[in-house]
Amino acid sequence: MTQSYVHGYSEREAERLFDQAETLTCLIHHDSIFPPGSRILEAGCGTGAQTCILAGKNPRCEFVSVDISHTSLAIAEKRVSAAGLSNVTLQHADILGDELPFGMFDHAVFCFVLEHIRKPEEAIRRVMKMVKPGGTVTAIEGDHGSVCFHPESEKALMAIRCQVLLQERAGGDACIGRKLYPLLVSSGLTDVMVSPRLVYADGGRPDLATGFTEKTFIAMIQGIRDPAIAAGLMSAKDFDEGISDLIRSAQKDGTFSYTFYKGRGINP
């Protein structure tokens, strides 16, 4: 699978992914329920942040969770074991390769994966071959263009833009969420439905201000500081000021919102 994970594979990034997963469980996965006995492919499980949630919510289903990164899979194995989950098989595989059998899964899930793939439609079509006719494919993605915060600043917006540009240069799309419906339809799925999942944090929601605004989103932008400066996208001074301005939005008198998109279609 042609992809480049712009966020890297550090321990801090693994922590950020789990902070995100735990904070957004109800928002993203309240309806991630599959029929008992289903065999489900998790395409691009990463460090297992979403794996633990999906498998925990569906204890009578079997999950085969695959990823191209050995580093991520090692972390996922520890997380799955610590969670005491016995319905997950972790496997090193490229979803565009030949390791996975066709027609062996009842359902498939992409969660924050398509944004990192150069040709996401090709990945969806490949996974569709692995899903039985009548099964479903679910995709969950964010959209950095949906960010809205107060107080807003030009430098904070520029820092976010750095993330978008770096991901684009790596072959990904940090604004793929808004494109999810046409992407799933053009891939050949039928009965496609997409729903927006808005995260909003303010002084009255300190759990979200901490869990999402600070530990998930701002932490992600902080993580691309060095490559953004090295690429000449911003000076170190301006970038740091942008981060300070973003942190301001997580204070008691600040606000922050971001939209995720969850789409589902049937494999004909």
Compute the average pLDDT of residues 35-52.
96
Cis peptide before 133 (omega within 30 of 0): no
pTM above 0.75, yes or no: yes
Q: Which CATH number does the domain housing residue 31 bear?
A: 3.40.50.150
Q: Which of the two residues, 177 and 14, has the higher pLDDT score?
A: 177
Residue 94 has pLDDT above 80, yes or no: yes
pLDDT of residue 2: 40
In whole angstroms, what is the distance from residue 26 CA to residue 114 CA? 22
Q: Tens digit of pLDDT for each residue in 210-233?
A: 999 999 999 999 999 999 999 999
Confidence band of 1 (pLDDT split at 50, 70, 90)? very low
Residue 235 has pLDDT above 90, yes or no: yes
Domain assignment of residue 155, given as a range: 11-266
Compute the average pLDDT of residues 190-205.
97
Residue 3 resides in a domain:
no
Residue 103 resides in a domain:
yes
Residue 198 resides in a domain:
yes
Residue 4 resides in a domain:
no
Confidence band of 17 (pLDDT split at 50, 70, 90)? low
**Which residue intervals of 58-119 are DSSP H helices?**
70-82
Residue 2 resides in a domain:
no
In whole angstroms, what is the distance from residue 5 CA to residue 167 CA? 8
Q: How many domains does the chain have?
A: 1
Residue 3 has pLDDT above 90, yes or no: no
In whole angstroms, what is the distance from residue 236 CA to residue 230 CA? 9
Residue 125 resides in a domain:
yes
Residue 5 resides in a domain:
no
Two tokens, residue 10? 């550090």
